[in-house]
Amino acid sequence: MFLKSLLLVGFSLLVAFVVNVPTVEARIRHYKWEAKYEYRSPDCFKKLVITVNGRSPGPTILAQKGDTIVVELKNSLDTENVAIHWHGIRQIDTPWFDGTEGVTQCPILPGETFKYQFIVDRPGTYLYHAHYGMQREAGLYGSIRVALPDGESEPFAYDYDRSIILNDWYHSTAYEQASGLSSSNFSWVGEPQSLLIQGRGKFNCSSLTFASSDSNGVCIPSNPECSPYVLTVIPGKTYRLRVASLTGLSALSFQVEGHNMTVVEADGHYVEPFVVKSLFIYSGETYSVLIKADQNPSRNYWIQTNVVSRKPKTTPGLAIFNYYPNHPRRSPPTSPPVGPLWDDVAPRLAQSLSIKARQGHGRAPPATSDRVIVLLNTQNEVNGYRRWSVNNVSFDHPHTPYLIALKHNLTKEFDQTPPPDGYDFKNYDIYVKQNNSNATTSSGIYRLKFNTTVDVILQNANTMNVNDSETHPWHLHGHDFWVLGHGSGKFDISKDPKNYNLANPIEKNTVPVHRYGWTALRFVADNPGAWAFHCHIESHFYMGMGVVFEEGIERVGKLPTSIMGCGASKGLRLP
Amino acid sequence: MFLKSLLLVGFSLLVAFVVNVPTVEARIRHYKWEAKYEYRSPDCFKKLVITVNGRSPGPTILAQKGDTIVVELKNSLDTENVAIHWHGIRQIDTPWFDGTEGVTQCPILPGETFKYQFIVDRPGTYLYHAHYGMQREAGLYGSIRVALPDGESEPFAYDYDRSIILNDWYHSTAYEQASGLSSSNFSWVGEPQSLLIQGRGKFNCSSLTFASSDSNGVCIPSNPECSPYVLTVIPGKTYRLRVASLTGLSALSFQVEGHNMTVVEADGHYVEPFVVKSLFIYSGETYSVLIKADQNPSRNYWIQTNVVSRKPKTTPGLAIFNYYPNHPRRSPPTSPPVGPLWDDVAPRLAQSLSIKARQGHGRAPPATSDRVIVLLNTQNEVNGYRRWSVNNVSFDHPHTPYLIALKHNLTKEFDQTPPPDGYDFKNYDIYVKQNNSNATTSSGIYRLKFNTTVDVILQNANTMNVNDSETHPWHLHGHDFWVLGHGSGKFDISKDPKNYNLANPIEKNTVPVHRYGWTALRFVADNPGAWAFHCHIESHFYMGMGVVFEEGIERVGKLPTSIMGCGASKGLRLP
């Protein structure tokens, strides 16, 4: 089988060593990684980037369902800590290796090596990235691709399997961004300087206020590092393209000029196939699309990604869909296609509604829920600082990770008052700019009863600007959730649940809530641990747009010492 | 007494609270500090700076001999650790509060508060600064001024007491500098962009390759933050000016136009007074000079600092010596004075030889030493990396601080082989570029027998460039040393010790070794702990130009838990 041999080639290239254990499916994939600052020019502009083994995006983790992934991560940053989140991996029985600084672990100190070890229990397309401060913006991210067990096959056919990650890219450092956001003299990060496709973009060097021939070589348009990414295809063949987004800010559209795409997977779950010209994708989401190389093979085509939902100030990201044997660097003869209208919500909402579990593959959600939590998304001013909040509570990281504080009953380490389960439904007008003068910051969390079913309604609203509501992709750690519905306007608990899709809802780990709209999710609180749930826009989460769920903490096994070392866990003596 | 009332005013402004204990001299000076990245324009160019309580230089610590200083330092950096060294304070009985990351403590994590507590046991002029990676370059530094006990007076008279710190300033970040230095594709930090006098300098914005009217406001020549520092003086009065240098790279000259300076203190020790027009000062040194405002009082004068020892590419730093009641911002009518020739070693060596203990005040050194360690200073290529070495060993920080590893006998945490006590005296030609192909990196340290007397000869040599030898200011933690001699050329152990100054050597904690020269020091290993001894040029120490001395580790008391948390001290259970 081609897929398998491709994977095996990949393994021999990328895996430091592989230990065989008795069952075929349960191998250990052992990686040795080093995170380090290095100069890179992903969009022709040179800046310090956090690389993994010299690369950004870092090495792809290739595994098979049931494998154990071991990543020995050496922090070779100088004075800066690090933590890596394995995005989409539920960390069943290993909640301490979720990699979420402040929630599941202390940060990894410079000079130290931290061993992440977890099982990839489902096939699909996942991601990894830094989950500490705004460090993801520095370039520490990559792909995880989990194949089916031997002998099993996907419910769709393709000849080749490829992965790309979309990203937006800033020339300011993560420090500069964070300092601006956390200052009482608030400074917004602004729109990104470029869009990257698999780590490559093109910033217009001549647009800089300093000369492109700058003696420091800050921006070099001919740098091969920023030559476009090339996806070479053989005419007539079908490609499974795994498309992921890890943008800091931007919602994106993605298209391959002149080619249809059939969506077949979302966040590791099979999708009832539907065809798009342009795929909308939000930070933290992954999709597999099938693309047949069925166009005129004598030329190349543009792969393009555009900013949507915010007025674009960033030029589209471009890569080359290269029909073999045309030269991979040959530009397509056409102008890049025009993307969808940035401010048209309707097609984006329509796509969200189109994503359903593939027939015969979806797992049915529980018919009812035990608890409903409505989370109003607002932008606020809290104590003179610009923040994002849910239900007027802006999330404040504690210094002792929740998992440790909860397990060891260190009740002083975070606010013991949970944030509210809802907001003032009756009186709050989501369409107007609100004062929200009662907004606060808190490290309080939601405690969920183990094995109960929880509904979360994400309710969007107006920002601090008149007639403005943003798109927020919410990402849940440790679980997938069923997407029961999306709607416009204010969620009405007496009516809207009646229209929930309980028949074939998709399961996902990241989902957008559209402007002035709502999104309804359901999940079962069956994974003992402490789990972040947050807007995946880096600056929004940094500004407090997140919550933490705890469930079954009493079932969590002995925490590894390696996650300790900060806050109250510094001198903690384990029983 | 004026000095006392001045100090008391200072205290009421700067000290969070002062607890009085029975003896008058032994008060507790309690500071609450927050280290944070903030945008500042110290030389008109805007960049992120690590401030203490919003300031760079940070607040001045004002104390009296015998006081206990308590600094509760909150690390409000986002993802970066911190540690502060109290430069010149010997930390007798508190070796764990020396603030030297990797030597005496683990770094302080973001969000955490670390309590430094130590006694200032001698009057004089001292400093504090970050001692972690190249973090000092980010602007975390300040002054410590320790007054005599009540009723005691200095052996010289003055009317007013003022402190300034000289610094050189880079527009690149400490990360960028460190990344360049530690890359196999070596990139040197280059000459600084400006010189700062008490945190203020003037970069020529119009010299930027991008426009000074840049829309980002990166460089604004009219920014009040970079208006010159003003020292206002009353005609006829005598000023004690405490001048310190914390440059990253530059050796400096310092002068006040038209005024003589009488040197009276060096590194906390009284100097046999001598008069200079221009004071040479090296990174890590402090001096007190007396300046009488005895010139034409109808105008202002320039205070100027220039780069010496390296060919200057940095314009002189300027401040204003303002005769009251002239307007403090009124420029002097004259051009700034011409500084000393940058490449003339003779006057610098002469100044070094002029600094002797003040008659009736010096402490006599032991007449003989128990051990002589000769440290050859060289630049090398080690495993493809550019390094600085002593005796062909380039210092490599361990991940567990020495103090903890030594005290808890964690012998695997650093190289147990000590570096050599000398080099190939007979055959090594210090005047030629050497291959030094046997150079290595090591975390090995010198173990000194407690209470023995140790001589250290710093031997300078040629760098990796032909006809090039640099000036290195060496700083010893935990001790003062007697400066027994300086010489040109290769130190000859059979002859040179005969000319040691044992009569009235000055005690210092930082001393230069001049180009192609040697410097001989003597100290008593009587302070139990682990102590860094290193070139105070930030990039040189970062590149391995340092050693560590251990003495009397068995006499070190129980280590505080607060210094733990990294390397092998992470899970360390204290007895």
Domain annotation covers residue A343: yes
Domain annotation covers residue B141: yes
**Do residues B205 and B262 share a domain?**
yes
**Do residues A333 and A389 share a domain?**
no
**pLDDT of residue A235 exceeding 90:** yes
Decide which of B299, B324, B354 is a domain's last residue.
B354
- Please report which residue ranges of A278-397 form alpha helices under DSSP H: 345-354
- Residues A111-138, buried b or exposed e (16+ Cβ, 10 A)? bbebebbbbbebbbbbbbbbbbbbbbbb
Q: Is A107's CB within 8 Å of B79's CB?
A: yes
**Digit-coded pLDDT (tens) for A344-401:** 999 999 999 999 999 999 899 999 999 999 999 999 999 999 999 999 999 999 999 9
Q: Which of A38, A110, A175 sits opposite B78 (nearest CB)?
A: A175
Enter the ipTM.
0.91
Residue A9 pLDDT grade (very low, low, confident, very high; cuts 50, 70, 90) = very low
Give the residue from chain B lying closest to A54, CA to CA.
B183
User: At CB < 8 Å, which residues of chain A contact B?
Assistant: 37-39, 48, 78-82, 106-107, 109-112, 132-135, 173-176, 178-179, 182-183, 208-211, 214-216, 397, 399, 561-562, 564-567, 570-571, 573
Domain annotation covers residue A430: yes
| pLDDT of res. B208 | 73
**Do residues A345 and A418 share a domain?**
no
| pLDDT of res. B437 | 87
| pLDDT of res. A206 | 84
**pLDDT of residue A405 exceeding 90:** yes
**Do residues B535 and B424 share a domain?**
yes
Looking at the complex, report in whole angstroms how far the Cα of residue A361 sits from the nearest Cα belonging to chain B. Answer: 42
- Amino acid identity of residue B454, one-letter, is V
Domain annotation covers residue B364: no
CA B112 to chain centre: 26
Q: What is the mean pLDDT of residues A486-514?
A: 98
Domain annotation covers residue A153: no
Give the residue from chain B lying closest to A570, CA to CA.
B565
User: The domain containing residue A204 runs over which residues?
Assistant: 163-354
Q: Are A542 and A181 in contact (CB under 8 A)?
A: yes
**Digit-coded pLDDT (tens) for A287-308:** 999 999 999 999 999 999 999 9
**Do residues B384 and B294 share a domain?**
no
Nearest to A135 by CA among A94, A185, A99: A99
Q: Are A370 and A421 in contact (CB under 8 A)?
A: no
Domain total of chain B: 3
**pLDDT of residue A10 exceeding 90:** no
Give the residue from chain A lying closest to B213, CA to CA.
A209
**Do residues A413 and A440 share a domain?**
yes
Q: Are A288 and A264 in contact (CB under 8 A)?
A: yes
**Do residues A454 and A519 share a domain?**
yes
Domain annotation covers residue B362: no
| pLDDT of res. B124 | 98
For residue B98, give Cα distances in angstroms to A328, B119, B135. 59, 11, 16
Residues of B in contact with A414 (CB under 8 A): none
**Do residues B556 and B484 share a domain?**
yes
The SS3 of residue A260 is coil
**Do residues A349 and A405 share a domain?**
no
Q: Are B380 and B387 in contact (CB under 8 A)?
A: yes
**Do residues A231 and A104 share a domain?**
no
- Supply the mean pLDDT for chain A: 93
Checking DSSP bridges between strand B385-390 and strand B371-382, what pairing results, if any? antiparallel
**Do residues B261 and B379 share a domain?**
no
Distance CA A488, CA A501 (A): 16
- Amino acid identity of residue A350, one-letter, is A
Q: Which of A179, A399, A561 sits opposite B48 (nearest CB)?
A: A179
**Do residues A213 and A299 share a domain?**
yes
DSSP per-residue letters across A8-27: HHHHHHH-SEEE--SSTT--
Nearest to A393 by CA among A332, A320, A322, A444: A444
Q: Is A133's CB within 8 Å of B79's CB?
A: yes
Domain annotation covers residue B139: yes
Q: Is A109's CB within 8 Å of B106's CB?
A: yes
What is the H or E stretch that residue B348 is in? helix B345-354
Domain annotation covers residue A546: yes
Tokens standing for residue A475? 């990402």
The SS3 of residue A49 is strand
For chain A, give the number of residues: 575
Decide which of B327, B354, B381 is a domain's last residue.
B354
Q: Are B44 and B223 in contact (CB under 8 A)?
A: yes
For residue B175, give Cα distances in angstroms to A39, A200, A341, A448, B369. 11, 23, 40, 42, 42
CA B292 to chain centre: 27
Q: What is the mean pLDDT of residues A334-345?
A: 96
Tokens standing for residue B424? 């190939």
| pLDDT of res. A15 | 39
Decide which of B120, B148, B176 is a domain's last residue.
B148
Contacts with B519 (C-beta within 8 Å, 6 or more apart), sequence order: B352, B457, B458, B474, B483, B485, B486, B511, B512, B513
CATH number of the domain encompassing residue A178: 2.60.40.420
Which residue positions in chain B have pLDDT lower than 70? 1-25, 209-216, 571-575
